[in-house]
Amino acid sequence: MKNNPQIYFDNHATTPVDPRVLRAMLSCFRENFGNAASGTHGFGIKARRAADKARGEVARLLGAEPREIVFTSGATESNNLALKGAAQAYREKGDHIITVVTEHKSVLDPCRRLEQSGFRVTYLPVKRDGLIDLGLLKKAVTDKTILISVMLANNETGVIQPLAGACALAREKGILFHCDAAQAAGKIPVDVKKLGVDLMSFTAHKIYGPKGAGALYVRKSGAQVRLIPLLDGGGHEVGLRSGTLNVPGIVGFGEACRICRIGLKAESKRVGKLRDRLLDRILSEVPDAAVNGSMESRLPNNLNINFPGISAHELMRLLKTVALSSGSACLSTSPEPSYVLTALGLSRELAGSSVRFGLGRFNTRAEVDFVAVKLVSVVKRLRQSIR
């Protein structure tokens, strides 16, 4: 390792663009720059074909059909379209929505907006391990429930929810099921048909693709899911998302999905081993450190650890060459402890002593060992200063 290396362990916030993705995108800025909606000349037709090819790759990663993929600017827009679009489309059937207290803000904030419009929202608690209780979910359902939204993998703890059981309950009751899979897609196997979801959100920049490109899976088999669009003006994406297609971003998204699909098993295994090595190194030197959330049901690249008595912000300040996080990237500047961790039952102090490690495709064993040694050294130094 070089002196003072810059090490990136914040791959939940975003990932670097894979060089193969960048190569695929470059032609869209130079030769293939047409508007995909311009079907009267070759430039537009070529752009449309590139977008359609990418749509197929995105669909293949999820076990979906290309016609079920609606391109957006990212998971935040996809979540908003799914929640607000479904709530408005099915309002005549009911006004009740169920979600979980540990969801991303791009789910929780739209739900609160819907409450202002007269909808009722139930926010389910989670257990100490971060998992939902399917029994509580069943009890929360009423004859006015029209939508359930549960994320597949949490962006802070990496905890993977028992989605198959939750989806089965929704199907049994005739309720739409939405899933925010921004952190899960491309890291663990995701098959929308096997899970039985109706709507699923995901984004390119979490899987080594570009920022500004995302998608919403909208089930079309059986009784087609209806949505009221957020944007009007051109009827793009079968009327669900008006606006000129971001062809370079979409092409990059498609290539990122292709790479993930081909290498998912091997990459998950490799990154999981790195994660476990980091955990073992830390716990061997800081035995009172503890993992937040379930280790059995967790993304292979995630660790969220609390260091009792240590300020996470001070720890990260002293680890200045290592990119880490104390919570969701969208709340990284907030002085408040993570609402996700306090929902697991952690005290404000323990939540404030927690650090998230997000390993990724380009991290190495040497980096893991360097970070472990450096982190343990800083923890011990901080504890000595407290005494």
pLDDT band at 272 (very low <50, low <70, confident <90, very high): very high
For 185-302, where are the alpha helices, taking DSSP H only?
Answer: 192-195, 247-285
What is the per-residue pLDDT across 235-261, written as a single tens digit (0 to 9) for each?
788 768 989 899 999 999 999 999 999
Read off φ and ψ for residue 283, nearest 5 degrees. Answer: -65, -25
Q: How do the domains of the chain map onto residue ranges?
A: 7-16+264-386, 19-258
Does 148 have pLDDT greater than 70? Answer: yes
Query: DSSP string covering 130-153, please?
Result: S---HHHHHHH--TTEEEEE--SB
What is the per-residue pLDDT across 102-147, written as a single tens digit (0 to 9) for each?
999 999 999 999 999 999 999 999 999 999 999 999 999 999 999 9
pLDDT band at 233 (very low <50, low <70, confident <90, very high): confident
| C-alpha 121, offset from chain centre | 22
| C-alpha 182, offset from chain centre | 2
What is the per-residue pLDDT across 328-349, written as a single tens digit (0 to 9) for each?
555 555 568 899 999 999 999 9
Among candidates 253, 198, 228, which has minimal Cα distance to 24? 253
CATH number among 3.40.1280.10, 1.10.3720.10, 3.40.640.10, 3.40.50.2300, domain 19-258: 3.40.640.10
What CATH number is given for 7-16+264-386 in this structure? 3.90.1150.10
Catalytic site positions: 330
pLDDT band at 4 (very low <50, low <70, confident <90, very high): low
Neighbouring C-beta atoms of residue 125, cutoff 10 Å: 13
Quick one: average pLDDT of 287-312?
96
> Which of 10-19, 42-51, 163-172, 182-191 bottoms out in mean pLDDT, i.e. has the lowest?
42-51
Residue bearing tokens 């089930």 = 219
Q: Chain-wide mean pLDDT for the chain?
A: 94
Query: Which residues are bridge partners to 142 per DSSP?
Result: none
In 292-339, the DSSP E strands lie at 302-306, 322-323
pLDDT at 220: 93
What is the per-residue pLDDT across 204-224, written as a single tens digit (0 to 9) for each?
999 999 999 999 999 998 878
* pTM (whole model) above 0.85: yes
Query: Which residues are bridge partners to 201 per DSSP?
Result: 180, 216
Phi/psi class of residue 65: alpha, beta or left (left: φ > 0; alpha: ψ in -120 to 50)?
beta
Going 6 to 7 to 9 to 15, the CA torsion angle's sign is positive
